[in-house]
Structure 1
Amino acid sequence: MATLLSRLLAAGAFALAAVGVCAHASAAPEKNHPKAEDVLKAKSKAKPKAKAKKAAAAGAAAAAAAVAAPAFSAEDEAEPDITDTIVTEYSCELGNKITIYTNAKDEGHIALRWKKRLHRLNRVGTTTGALRFENPFWGLIWIGIPAKGILLDSKLNRQLANECKNAEQAAAVASAATAQKNG
């Protein structure tokens, strides 16, 4: 019992001594290597320049975004006139429906019905040959390719409707599926 007690007291004394050493070590000021001090001084002098460059770059990016930002017109917000148009119905996945109204005289615009609202979309040129129409006011983007169409929301960065197919596209998919089964 006496040996156990002496061991406990020795361990406690060692722990107290270790705490005292650690306290002194942490209280002592940290001294850097002379070369490290030179590097730290150089970095502290360089930081204001880097911050100024970042601020200038951010200002230039904001100015470029303001120039590139599309200007909204009253036509983008107002409902378009759909008289004398060709109507194409699209059935999309998840039961969504889209109706597109096109006018042979005006290929630069379409009217798109989505969720009981009619939107005017402006044609945007593409390098791929896909049909792309946008309405920057509402944030709608319609992309049409020969196999399907997709409706995007550019303000929320998400898909609204995907796998949208009109009657011709759906028939082409069905005939390809039967040809694959028979072939």
Structure 2
Amino acid sequence: MKLIKPAHIRGNKVMKKLSTFILLIAGIACGAPPVMAETAASATGHANKKSASKKVAAAHKHEAQEIDEKEPDTSGLQPIAFNCELGNKITIYSRTNDDQQIALHWNKHTHLMTRVGTTTGAQRFENAQSGLVWIGIPAKGMLLDSKHGRQLANECRNADQAAQKVAEKS
């Protein structure tokens, strides 16, 4: 024997779905953050589906981070050693035919850095995952931590830049 729910009970489910949809659309139109959509979804019982999809998305993001965190292979690349203030040392590995990426070795780790265009002519390379930013100008280079807003190494010079600075002082 099949039980049929009264129309007013079936209608409540439809109304909840409709109100959730309206809240979601209104939130998007107003520029509300996605949290509002999650709250509306949990009110209708769809939270389990959402949380399962969030777990899958988080697992994929974690896998992508593991790939990003692997240190790049520097074999076959040309190293340039930099001596910085306070005894910091940085090595930059690059290809002669590729000026869009470098590998930067600092603090016992090597990070893949990608060129970012500038209007000043300075060489700027960033790694969004670690927050590292390398800025190179003809006289020196500096390493910044964009996540914490601080300098990590300054007055970094390779052998040619150091020799030029000594020559300028003489």
Please tell me the TM-score bracket, short chain as reference: 0.5 to 0.7
TM-score, length of structure 2 as denominator length: 0.61
Larger-gyration structure (1/2): 1
Instruction: Name the residue aligned to 1:87.
Output: 79
Cα distance change, pair 74–100 in 1 and its aligned pair in 2 (3 A): same
Instruction: Name the residue aligned to 1:133.
Output: 125
The alpha-carbon deviation at position 117 of structure 1 amounts to: 0.5
In structure 2, distance between residues paired with 1:83 and 1:103: 10
Deviation readout 1:68-111 (Å, 9 max, x if unpaired): xxx97766422111111111000000010000001123221100
Aligned pairs for 1:141-152 within 5 A: 141-152=133-144
Does 1:115 find its partner at 2:113?
Answer: no
Q: What secondary structure is seen at the aligned counterpart in 2 of 1:129?
A: coil
Aligned letter for 1:119?
Answer: H
Superposition RMSD on alpha carbons, in Å?
A: 2.0
Instruction: Name the residue aligned to 1:162.
Output: 154
In structure 2, distance between residues paired with 1:158 and 1:91: 19
In structure 1, distance between residues paired with 2:158 and 2:150: 22
- Consecutive unaligned residues of structure 1, counting only runs of 5 or more, are 1-55, 60-70, 179-183
State the number of aligned residues.
112
- Greater per-residue helix proportion: 1
Runs (4 or more) in structure 1 with deviation over 3 Å come to 56-59, 71-76
In structure 1, distance between residues paired with 2:163 and 2:156: 13
- Consecutive unaligned residues of structure 2, counting only runs of 5 or more, are 1-29, 34-60
Aligned pairs for 1:4-23 within 5 A: none
In structure 2, distance between residues paired with 1:130 and 1:115: 24
Aligned letter for 1:134?
Answer: E
In structure 1, distance between residues paired with 2:113 and 2:100: 9
TM-score, length of structure 1 as denominator length: 0.57
Q: Percent identity?
A: 55
Instruction: Name the residue aligned to 1:102.
Output: 94
